[in-house]
Structure formats: C-alpha cells, structure tokens
Structure 1
C-alpha cells in the first residue's frame, strides 16, 4: 500500500520544461541570479536544469526529491543551495565540486550519513543539517575552515562531534532535540563532568537576561552561542536555541 502511494506521488510529479525553469529565474537585491523551483511538487531534479548551471543561487526546497543527480557538479558558480524539506537519503560525492558554495541547507530530509567530499567545500559559511537521521559527521568537516554556523538539531547525536572543536571560526551550533540532551535531563545518575550545557529558547529571554548572557559570554568563552544577527541565518535555522557553556555548579 505504501509503495503504491509513493509510486502515485512520483507519477503525479510535475514535469518542468526549460522554459518553465527559466521563468522561475529572478534577480536578488544583490544582483544575484536565483533559480527558485521550491513548492513545485517535483520528485526529481529536472534534467533541463543542467542548462541553468550558471545560477548564483538554487532553491529546490519543499518538494519530493529523493536523489540529487551527479550533474549538480556543473553548478560550480552556485553560492547558495537550498534543498530543505525533501526526501533525500544521501548526497552524491559530486557535491564536492561546488567550490563556491557558502550556504547549504539540507534540513528536514532523511540523511543518515554524509560523504567525505563535503569537506571540499572550503568556502562554506552556513551548513544546516537539522531534522535528519544523522549520528555522526565525516572527519573531513575539519577542513571547513570558513564555517561559522552549523545546525544539527533533531538528529541522533549522543555527543557533540569532536571535529567541531577544531573549527576555529565556528560561532554557533544548534544541537537541540538530540538524544544527548534528553539522556542528561532524564538520567538518574549524576553526570561527572566539569562543564554543563544549558538550553534556553532565545524567545524566552527578556532583554535584561539576554544582556546578562551576552556579558557572561566574554568571561566564560562558550562552546557555541546561538544568538543570531544574520536574517538569512535566522530563516535557515529557526527555531533556535541558545547553548551556553559554564562551570559545573
């Protein structure tokens, strides 16, 4: 029954022609060319999209896409790739060819692992992997020296990935909704650690408390603080949690 349902969905998938895709190209305020194929009801990336390989930004979010084709390697000029809210179970190794990628949004898919080629995206600034089925990150993540923000919320992590500690420019990490926090909160046994993590939704903080937290940051050097200033990052990582690192007490 389930297989039939999936087959019906794919058979009803909207067919996208080159002309239709071209009509979905727009200019951003910054003068970038953006291909927006979100909410198109497609189950596969249209082959005609190959002819639009010179796009600065590509949005394929909120569809039923199960696989990213290898021709994604042609999009070497693309700096923003939005694939959130699809049915992706894996990424092709060809993702490593997108050398100019700065924002990669893979939130709300079915990813269980990531290719090591992800570490080839040297210019990556923001990576959203929230709402997937990940329990580990590839060791190659340490090569993302420009990475500032990473979203790992609602996955299957039981600990903070050690590779993140080697990213000197990393400013924020969202790990809300992972088993690591649930286990700590429900465990009957005392946690023997010199550091504790406190999760607080930013919207729950009054102005006074928010200012106090920002002041304390200067003294305790948190592992990561999710107090966002970028509107683009807020869109990709909402809802957010603030993670503070402090002494045990």
Structure 2
C-alpha cells in the first residue's frame, strides 16, 4: 500500500460521502439470548486530552490537557493491520479487510471462518496513520457471542493494540465511548474529524431491542495512538 496520509484522508472523506448514513448498519442475522446492557457514554471526545483527565460525564478532570498528546509517538506510514488485541475484554483477533458493498453500505464479516473476526475498513487509514482508522466487529451472531460482545466495558485509559503487516505494533489508548442511534449516526464525527492525529475507532452494534428483534444503535470506542514498538 503506497497511499500517503493526506491522500488517504481525502479517500476517507470521499468514502463517507458515498456510503452515507447507512455505513454503520452492521446488520446481524441473529442475537445472543443474553445481550450486554447498553454502555454508558464516557470520556471526552477531545483526542488531545490525557484519557485519565476525563470524568465519566466527559467533563474535565484534574490532569493537564494535552499532556498525552505531547508525549505520543509520531504517525506511522501505511501498513495493513493483521491482529487486534484488547486485554481488558479478552479480545485477541485476526483482522480481516472489508470495503463497501454494491449497495454502498459498509461490508461486515460474513458467515464462515471470518464471522467472529475484527474487520478493518479499507477506505480508512491503516491504524497508526494520521486520521481515524475504522475497525468493526459483531457483538453477537446467530451462533452466539462475537468478537466485540464486551466492547462496552472499555473505559478511558484502557489499551488497544494493533499488530501491522510491516512488523510494527501500534498501541492506542481509549479516551471516549459513545452510543448513537443508527438512524442518526454521526458519520462525519466518526469517520472524519481530525485527519492529522492517528486515532482508532472500534465499532459494533448496541441497544438490542427485543420488540423489533435487532440492535437500534451503534457503539463507538474512540482511541488514539500512544505507543509504537518494532516487531
């Protein structure tokens, strides 16, 4: 992959325009009989803040804003993600690559060997590049619990690690969680925003409604690059 960060940002915004509000449908064929409760929104959406400085309601705490941003590693070049690890919730998944379907919606892992794997959206930056990288995963399927079942348990300060094809390991620190109604999903906020800071969004379904038999929301975990290690 030879796309530069700047051009990648342009491609990302173009993809957002093409995909539109349906990009985060993440439709499931079934539902685990005991779905997780809807997570609470927590943390500040300001990626320059120290994740430890955000109170549960997102208001400022006592830490100095911007400290973590000053200490972070520089952005990385492009390299496809191969594994995703989230120690807090026991996730250690191979990462597959998805694009957009013929109808313009975001592809999701399909039934088969890749169903319960995390999936990187190939119109977003690779993890560690400037801009928001997007990795999605099912919360559950007709087979039961899936890779992102416990995503809502994450809190600001928790770590997410991505191993990349070039041998580098990028570590991200969670700074916020938000749930959004699918019919009012803020595409530009999640897929756009600051295109200069290396960030990672983890996305799954949320708010299962037994009356309609499917999820009515999406959970987005916002994290930023805080460490880089060679393989």
TM-score, normalized by length of structure 2? 0.24
Structure with more strand by fraction: 2
Flag the structure with larger Rg.
Answer: 1
TM-score, normalized by length of structure 1? 0.23
Higher relative contact order (CA 8 A, sep 6+): 2
Structure with more helix by fraction: 1
